[in-house]
Amino acid sequence: MYQLVADTDEFLVVDKAAGVPVHGPSAAPTLIERLREDFNNPALNLVHRLDTGTSGLVVIAKNPTANRLLAQLFAERVVCKRYLAISPSKPSKKQGWIIGDMVKVRDGNWILKHNRDNPAKTYFISAAVKPHCRLFVLAPHTGKTHQLRVALRSQQAAILGDERYSKCAADRMYLHSWRLSFQFKDEDFRFSVWPNSGELFQDEALMQLALELEGRLPDGV
C-alpha cells in the first residue's frame, strides 16, 4: 500500500502505491486509514491528495498545527512538485504551459477550457522513449482535481492506463508523484522516489531521460 520515505516530528512522507485510494469512502482500505492504524495516531491528516491510480509522494501531517501550516504551503503554491507520466501519443507541442479553467462535465470527467478565470496551470516537457511511448516531466503550479490527466488529454496525449481519459489500457496508470521540495519551519526538505511499479517505468534509460528533461525546465518553473 505504501513505503515510508520520511518520518519527522511534524509529518510523514510516504510513497503511495498505484491503485490505493488516499481517503474514503472506499470499499478498499484507504491510505490514511492504514497510516492512522500503523502509527497509532488518529490525528494524522492528508496535507494533499493523489488520485487512486497515481503513485508516489504524499505528505501526511501528524497534528492539526502541522496540517494547517503544511496545507498553507501547498495553497500558496510554494511547494515544488514534479510528476512523471507516460503517454502513447505525441502531444500537440513538445513542451510549454498548459493553462485554462477546468469544467466538470457528465460522468465525473473534467475538461480544460480556454477561459482563465481560475485556471489550472501546468508546465511540461516531453521526449520520445520509443515508438508509442513518450515520457513527460510535469510541473503543476496548481492542484486541481484530475489536473495533470486533463492537461495531457488537452494536448492529445492522454496518460497511458488512465481509464477515465485514455483508451489505451495498461498494467497501471502511468502517472507518478516523483519529487517534492519545500521549506517548513526554516528547514529545507527535498524528497524524491522513483516508481516501483509499471513495466515501462522500470526501464533504466527512463530515469536518465527524466533527469535530462528536468534539467531543461526553465528557471522558476
- DSSP state at residue 159: P
> Nearest Cα to 184, choosing from 83, 42, 65?
65
CA separation, residue 69 to residues 26, 160, 182, 188 (Å): 28, 35, 12, 14
- For residue 85, how many other CB atoms are within 10 A of its CB? 26
β-strand partners of 95: 125
Give the Cα separation of 77 and 104 in Å (integer): 23
Give the Cα separation of 56 and 15 in Å (integer): 5
* 107 is a catalytic site residue: no
- Name the catalytic one among 7, 15, 38, 51: 51
The H-or-E segment that residue 179 falls in is strand 175-184
Instruction: Report whether 177 contacts 55 (CB < 8 A).
Output: yes
Is 196 in a helix, a strand, or coil? coil
Catalytic positions: 51
